[in-house]
Amino acid sequence: GKGEYEHFMLKEIHEQPTSLAQAIEGRIDPETERISLDGFDPGTFEHVDAVQLVACGTSYHAALYGSLALNQAGVQATALLANEYSVVAPPVDDDTLVVAVSQSGETADTLSALRQANRRGADTLTITNVVGSTAAREADDALFIRAGPEIGVAATKTFSSQAVMLTLLAQRIAADACGHVPADLESLLPDIGKMPDAIDGLLEESAADAIARDYLDSESFFFIGRGLGYPVALEGALKFKEITYEHAEGFASGELKHGPLALVTRETPVFAIFTGQEDEKTLKNAEEAQTRGAPVIAVCPDDHRAVEVADDHLTIPDVDSELAGLLANVQLQLVSYYAADLLGRPIDKPRNLAKSVTVE
């Protein structure tokens, strides 16, 4: 049941410290600081020279996040919408690993892309929450995120776990295929272990309900981010439109000036996500929106320069830049939740949507 929470979505947002701890459990060897994945012996990914991630919706945003984590670890990777995969038909060979990311493991679009990859001779792997799901059975291998059941139609805790799982997988593929993991990722593994506590702290002190209330009357809601902040901007906007029914869009920060800026007015708050990747540029992009009258809500640590510039602030603990976006995402989940709640929306069952989409 929902226990003390009014909605499953809020309960599942609050479960993230636990679900993330479960995702990580036993998967980082504390002595060697190496990733150990059950059923994947060292060297399993030695031959992998390219990774294609396929997924839909929120899982696609996690896949995009994962593709960037793979690139940063030195592994060639692209994320593709599963429903575009058959027409894009990117070349695969037996050194291509195709990773299907799906909470349910039953999404028809994702299964179709997975089957196509299998037919074309790629190695396939699924990252899913559901043991025994179709994706888990049909892929060559499976990694389970162990998030526990997710009842709310809007995916929340499973996004965080998918992204962290992909971050671990990136390290592991880099270690097998490239023989090493880039040195600048050294603080990443210890910081992954700190994520459950970091989210706990964030949830206790979040100002998301006040922010949701203050900006509820706006016309449109924009989310911008760069690098790992970009998939978080897309996810922030998807969650917002799904459960509030208000118009929301996510953009790469640098793209604002290439068109969307025409939409920016004092009625379009801009949530700017800072992940420590060229933040000065994102801040400049946010200021360009602010000059046109848009209120800017900075999502970043307290001591970040953006706090002074922005009209409002949602705080995140200071962690490795590879993880900051996941903390920002939790704040944005809460903003969507409180906005939808104030609007009286049926949060756990938004109109026209189903938890698992079994048609193409």
Residue 292 Cβ vs ligand F6R, minimum distance, rounded to whole Å: 30
Q: Which is nearer to ligand F6R, 22 or 58 (CB)?
A: 58
Is 102 near ligand F6R (CB under 6 A)?
Answer: yes
Distance CA 135, CA 118 (A): 11
C-alpha dist (Å) from residue 344 to 135, 225, 269, 337, 339 = 36, 29, 21, 11, 9
Helix, strand, coil share (%) of the chain residues, nearest 5: 50, 15, 35
Residue 155 Cβ vs ligand F6R, minimum distance, rounded to whole Å: 4
**Residue closest to ligand F6R when measured from CB atoms:** 57
Is 355 designated active site? Answer: yes
Is 160 near ligand F6R (CB under 6 A)?
Answer: no
Is 112 near ligand F6R (CB under 6 A)?
Answer: no
Is 110 near ligand F6R (CB under 6 A)?
Answer: yes
Residue 55 Cβ vs ligand F6R, minimum distance, rounded to whole Å: 6
Q: Per-residue string for binding with ligand F6R, 33-72, x by CB under 6 A?
A: -----------------------xxxx-------------
Is 356 near ligand F6R (CB under 6 A)?
Answer: yes
Among 242, 320, 322, 341, which residue sits at the site for ligand F6R (rule: CB under 6 A)? 242
Catalytic residue among 241, 284, 349, 355: 355
Q: What is the DSSP string of 45-110?
A: TTT--EEEEEE-HHHHHHHHHHHHHHHHTT--EEEEEHHHHHHH-----TTEEEEEEESSS--HHH
Count residues contacting ligand F6R (CB under 6 A)?
Answer: 14
Distance CA 120, CA 132 (A): 24
Q: Which is nearer to ligand F6R, 157 or 226 (CB)?
A: 157
Residue 135 Cβ vs ligand F6R, minimum distance, rounded to whole Å: 8
Is 19 near ligand F6R (CB under 6 A)?
Answer: no
Distance CA 52, CA 67 (A): 8
Distance CA 187, CA 35 (A): 14
| Euclidean distance between the first and the last CA atom of the chain, given in angstroms as a whole number | 31
Structure tokens at 43: 């060297």
Residue 332 Cβ vs ligand F6R, minimum distance, rounded to whole Å: 12
Is 244 near ligand F6R (CB under 6 A)?
Answer: no
C-alpha dist (Å) from residue 348 to 7, 297, 312 = 6, 26, 28
What are the residues facing 51 on neighbouring strands?
A: 77, 97
Residues 6+ apart with CB under 8 A from 130: 103, 104, 105, 106, 136
Residue 339 Cβ vs ligand F6R, minimum distance, rounded to whole Å: 15
What are the residues facing 100 on neighbouring strands?
A: 54, 126
Among 52, 107, 220, 285, which residue sits at the site for ligand F6R (rule: CB under 6 A)? 107
Distance CA 225, CA 212 (A): 19
Q: Which stretch binds ligand F6R (CB under 6 A): 84-92, 101-109, 316-324, 325-333?
A: 101-109
Is 126 near ligand F6R (CB under 6 A)?
Answer: no
Q: Which stretch binds ligand F6R (CB under 6 A): 35-43, 104-112, 211-219, 315-323?
A: 104-112
Helix (H) or strand (E) holding 185: none
Name the residues that contact ligand F6R, by CB under 6 A.
Answer: 56-59, 102-104, 107, 110, 154-155, 242, 356-357
